[in-house]
Copies of this chain bind each other. A is one copy, B any other.
Amino acid sequence: MYSKYFPILEWSKSYTYKDFADDSLAAIIVTIMLIPQSLAYAMLAGLPPEMGLYASIIPLILYAIFGTSKTLAVGPVAVIALMTSASCSQFANPGSTDYAILAIILAVMSGMMLIIMGLLKLGFIANFLSHPVISGFITASGLIIAASQLNHIFGIEGRGSNLFDILLNLAQNFTDLNFHTLVIGTVALIILFWCKKKLKKFMLDKGSSPLVSDIVSRTGPVIAVVLTTLAVWLFGLGINEVAIVGRIPDGLPSLGIPYFSFSIWVELLAPALLISLVGYVETVSVAQTLASKRRQRIDPNQELIALGFSNLGSGTSGGFPVTGGFARSVVNFDAGAKTPAAGAFTAIGIAFATLFLTPFLFYLPKATLAATIIVAVLSLVDFKSVLRIFSYSKSDGVAMLCTILSTLLMGVEIGIISGVVISLLMYLYRTSRPHIARVGQVPGTQHFRNVNRHLVITSEKVISLRIDESLYFPNARFLEDSVYAYIGREPEIKDMILVFSAINYLDASALESLEAINRRLADAEVNLHFSEVKGPVMDQLQRTHLLAELSGQVFLSQYDAFKTLEPELSKKSLTPNKSQAS
């Protein structure tokens, strides 16, 4: 009973020392990886570095209690940090106290929304973010994030909510270029790219095990942080030459409810909903990918609750919106985490770092953090999938391209909303002009297919039309026009059979159209018949007068209909003989 909402009650029962050892090792590795990431994503969100650490403590513990994925690692991630920054900077200046409070409120609101959606089982709402839209959105976000960090590499000003603004801003301030900063940033970028692309192969060549090579190659950010921090300290580049992180408060976060202004909460409703949905989609897709590798299952609705409590915990402990991160979850998985306890142990590691390590981060250059962000997000940019999706379906490709362009040019909120709206409008447009196939009997069977694609038996007097769409208001008149066109072209038609096999629903407008078709065909002395009407649609029709007024009959199967109306042709057709086919 309780274990449905508290999965920890289930897995903790069979927790072993072996699990403890595995989880602890994974936690140490993830902690080391998470410290620079937390600081970097806080900077990306325009927030003080300690908020990144706070967002990596309480949320991880709450996810361990409520989460159904064994290996998901939650915390600050790049895309959500960007969305947080885009939302908050509409109402306050990055770096100000008001701005930090807005980020905290966003986390609390997003947490409450996710919990409510989880309790009401509204996870299906996230399905409206289609795969092409999400994937286009993430590609565009990666580009915006990378561009937004170039100012830290060059040591100049250069902010903006879309790619155009950022690049323009950078170009205008380019003369302020800071040479020391650029050197540090470039070195950090080289270290990071080398660790990412070459270190693994290098270690494998030296005889390391694949697992160790893989994990060590992911410690690039730590190496870059240590080396560049030491450099700044040793060469005394201090605050004036190079922008550094500076003093980070070294206590643990205090718990509290953020200050309440009703109008601000209303303004943040839409951004909080978008952050919730994008964060949830990312969480579920990472969790599902990893779970299926070990034949485990996750519960999408419980994941809403778990992610909701993680965000609520983040907001009430001074953090900002969090979600399941792909890179860190993969590290956790590869490092051998067995249960969500690994996440709780990671939280202890981050808490330890917050208490004792922050003085060592004083001289950490912001350019290094920017470099870790750039290297991390460039792997999000995936232009190949635009081509792949275009080659499968033009409308999916168009939706993806529109999402990318509108995100790049108009920012994240308008970007994702226009992606969803465009993909829905294209679907509606498609359904407004349904495919209507004239069908005939496949010789030797009771099966009916499109006359244009198959060698089938047809009749001059009996026309069978299969309507490949549910009938509702946008396409009701289109059906009328199509039917009348057939009747107009072929005066020898005496019976028209509408094959309902692909009609899943009829609304009131479609019913009126069918009534009009029935009357009009009766005037033209053509009988209207229906075949293969499904249960739910038949239930609908039985509540109307149409069946009583129908000039023809309703047949269980299209074969019944054709056999009844064209007994001769249909009988012959049971002997497979292609010469009979028209």
CA A505 – CA B392 in complex, angstroms?
A: 12
Q: Is A50 an interface residue (CB 8 A)?
A: no
B505→A502 contact, CB < 8 A: no
Q: Is A509 an interface residue (CB 8 A)?
A: yes
Could you say which of B130, B295, B423, B431 contacts A523, with CB atoms under 8 Å apart? B295
Given A511-B392, A540-B392, A544-B392, verify A127-B447 contact (CB < 8 Å): no
Q: Is A172 an interface residue (CB 8 A)?
A: no
**Which residues of chain B have C-beta atoms less than 8 A from A129's C-beta?**
473
B395→A128 contact, CB < 8 A: no
Of A4-12, A232-240, A475-483, the stretch lying at the interface with chain B is: A475-483
Could you say which of B478, B503, B504, B535 contacts A127, with CB atoms under 8 Å apart? B478
* A478, A502, A556 pick with most chain B CB within 10 angstroms: A502
User: Shortest CB–CB separation between residue A488 and chain B, in angstroms?
Assistant: 9
Given A392-B543, A475-B127, A520-B292, verify A557-B442 contact (CB < 8 Å): yes
Q: Is A187 an interface residue (CB 8 A)?
A: no
Could you say which of B392, B472, B502, B519 contacts A501, with CB atoms under 8 Å apart? B502
**Which residues of chain B have C-beta atoms less than 8 A from A395's C-beta?**
507
CA A544 – CA B503 in complex, angstroms?
A: 26
Q: Is A23 an interface residue (CB 8 A)?
A: no
* A445, A472, A535 pick with most chain B CB within 10 angstroms: A472
**Which residues of chain B have C-beta atoms less than 8 A from A447's C-beta?**
446, 556-557, 559-560
User: Shortest CB–CB separation between residue A93 and chain B, in angstroms?
Assistant: 32
Q: Is A17 an interface residue (CB 8 A)?
A: no
Q: Within A104-157, which residues are at the interface with B (CB < 8 Å)?
A: 124, 127-133
User: Shortest CB–CB separation between residue A62 and chain B, in angstroms?
Assistant: 25
* A433, A469, A504 pick with most chain B CB within 10 angstroms: A504
Q: Is A582 an interface residue (CB 8 A)?
A: no
**Which residues of chain B have C-beta atoms less than 8 A from A557's C-beta?**
442, 445, 447
Q: Is A453 an interface residue (CB 8 A)?
A: yes
1/0 per residue, CB under 8 A from B, across A404-443: the answer is: 0000000000000000000110011011111101000010
Q: Is A491 an interface residue (CB 8 A)?
A: no
B536→A468 contact, CB < 8 A: yes
CA A469 – CA B503 in complex, angstroms?
A: 8
B433→A468 contact, CB < 8 A: no
Q: Is A578 an interface residue (CB 8 A)?
A: no
A536→B435 contact, CB < 8 A: yes
B508→A474 contact, CB < 8 A: no
Interface of A is mostly: helix
**Which residues of chain B have C-beta atoms less than 8 A from A445's C-beta?**
446, 557, 559-560
Residue of B nearest to A519 (CB): B292
Given A505-B430, A544-B392, verify A535-B450 contact (CB < 8 Å): yes
Q: Is A512 an interface residue (CB 8 A)?
A: yes
Residue of B nearest to A473 (CB): B130
CA A319 – CA B560 in complex, angstroms?
A: 60
Residue of B nearest to A426 (CB): B507
Could you say which of B127, B503, B505 contacts A474, with CB atoms under 8 Å apart? B127
User: Shortest CB–CB separation between residue A505 and chain B, in angstroms?
Assistant: 6
User: Shortest CB–CB separation between residue A444 and chain B, in angstroms?
Assistant: 11
**Which residues of chain B have C-beta atoms less than 8 A from A509's C-beta?**
130-132, 396
CA A126 – CA B129 in complex, angstroms?
A: 27
CA A452 – CA B536 in complex, angstroms?
A: 12
Given A131-B512, A437-B535, verify A124-B295 contact (CB < 8 Å): no
**Which residues of chain B have C-beta atoms less than 8 A from A432's C-beta?**
124, 127-128
CA A130 – CA B511 in complex, angstroms?
A: 12
CA A469 – CA B474 in complex, angstroms?
A: 17
Q: Is A391 an interface residue (CB 8 A)?
A: yes
Q: Is A3 an interface residue (CB 8 A)?
A: no
**Which residues of chain B have C-beta atoms less than 8 A from A430's C-beta?**
505
B507→A468 contact, CB < 8 A: no
Q: Is A577 an interface residue (CB 8 A)?
A: no
A435→B504 contact, CB < 8 A: yes
B446→A559 contact, CB < 8 A: yes
**Which residues of chain B have C-beta atoms less than 8 A from A478's C-beta?**
124, 127
A127→B477 contact, CB < 8 A: yes
Q: Is A534 an interface residue (CB 8 A)?
A: yes
B469→A504 contact, CB < 8 A: yes
Q: Is A273 an interface residue (CB 8 A)?
A: no
1/0 per residue, CB under 8 A from B, across A505-523: the answer is: 1011101100000011001
Q: Within A507-566, which residues are at the interface with B (CB < 8 Å)?
A: 507-509, 511-512, 519-520, 523, 534-536, 540, 543-544, 556-557, 559-560
User: Shortest CB–CB separation between residue A425 and chain B, in angstroms?
Assistant: 9
The contact sample of 29 A-B pairs, CB cut-off 8 A, is A124-B477, A127-B473, A127-B477, A128-B428, A128-B474, A129-B473, A130-B507, A130-B508, A389-B508, A392-B543, A392-B544, A393-B507, A393-B508, A393-B540, A396-B509, A423-B473, A424-B428, A427-B428, A427-B472, A435-B534, A435-B536, A437-B534, A447-B557, A447-B559, A447-B560, A450-B534, A501-B501, A501-B502, A502-B503
Chain A interface (Cβ within 8 Å of chain B)? 124, 127-133, 292, 295, 300, 389, 391-393, 395-396, 423-424, 427-428, 430-435, 437, 442, 445-447, 449-450, 452-453, 468-470, 472-478, 501-505, 507-509, 511-512, 519-520, 523, 534-536, 540, 543-544, 556-557, 559-560
